[in-house]
Amino acid sequence: MSWLWAVLGVACGGDPPPPPTAGTTAVTPDPGDTADTGTTPPEPLDCAVRFAWFQKDVLSDDDGLNHEPWPTHTTTALEWNCLGTDFDYATVSNHGTGYTDLTPTGDFALDMELWTDEHPVSESGLAALVAAYSDCSCDAATTVQPLDALDDPGVADLLDGVAGLVRDRLICARGTSVEDIADQLAAGEIDRVLDTTQACHFAEGVSWSDLFDDAYQAHVGELAATHVSNNDAALQAALFEAWQETGTLGPCDAAGALCTGPLWFYDR
């Protein structure tokens, strides 16, 4: 749960982590330290920022993650407090469900799955970080395959391909029809599929990820030239974690391996 949700008074289960404690690690230099040199004192670290991951099952009307190991959608956020200001945030929905989007039943669609430790930062450093993060995605390097809308032609083709593979590779207990599951999948009845397949398993060495990879290559396009929301999220996390570790804001490297081929699952 994010702090924003707590402020809105929405109970989503569990207690939210406390907001960043602005200024507790601030470094305000003594003017006497620089008086003799004439140099400008370093900017005080009056803000605290952290990175957070929010996830849900793709194409499901349910909120959050309920059907492992079904592919996930990941939205990310930077959340911060600064001295003298209220909590604020920046978020990237990564071609899918947004930070405050709701399910058809009125619940927040995304679950907060993980967050980093808060990190002290100056106001100008925070502004630079937010700008770099907000522009960080794989879009410049590979083509995105959205997994948020059943009426998207690419999604329809993908699910049709996965359905065909399910017929050959899924094994279910007596009374559960693999053929029915495949038909439901091809029709986009995702929640029915996810509920029914709890009584099923794949042949040894096969996973949902394998089925999505094979179906994508056969029915949609070249796998290596594609990314999904999880690739963007992993790239954004790498940008933040490198900054947190080194104190230097580096490039968002969309040309790297993180953007090559869809990351159907993203477990932080």
Over residues 205-238, the pLDDT tens digits come to 888 889 999 999 888 888 889 999 999 999 999 9
* Among 97, 170, 122, 92, residue whose Cα is nearest residue 25: 122
The answer on 173 and 67 residing in a single domain is: no
Domain-embedded: residue 14: no
Number of domains in the chain: 2
pLDDT interval class at 19 (50, 70, 90): low
Say whether both 211 and 249 belong to one domain. Answer: no
Q: Please, are residues 170 and 202 in contact by the beta-carbon 8 Å criterion?
A: yes
Q: Is 138 helix (H, G, I), strand (E, B) or coil?
A: coil
If asked whether residues 212 and 237 sit together in one domain, one would say no
Do 233 and 201 lie in one domain? The reply is no
Which residue from 252, 41, 259 is spatially nearest to 130, judged by alpha carbons? 252
Same domain, 118 and 27: yes
124 plus 184 within the same structural domain? no
Structure tokens, 256: 């790297």
Tracing tokens 């993060």 back to the chain, one arrives at 133
Place of tokens 């593979």: 165
Q: Model confidence at 10, in pLDDT bands (50, 70, 90)?
A: very low
Residue 256 phi, psi (nearest 5): -85, -175
Same domain, 71 and 126: yes
Which residues constitute the domain of residue 52? 19-140+228-259
Percent of all residues in the chain with a pLDDT value above 90, rounded to a whole number: 53
Exposure class string for 218-229: b at 16+ Cβ within 10 A, else e: ebbeebeebbbb
Domain membership flag for residue 11: no
Same domain, 71 and 194: no
Give me the sign of the Cα torsion angle 55, 180, 188, 214: positive
Rounded mean pLDDT, 195-204? 86
Mean pLDDT of 77-91: 93
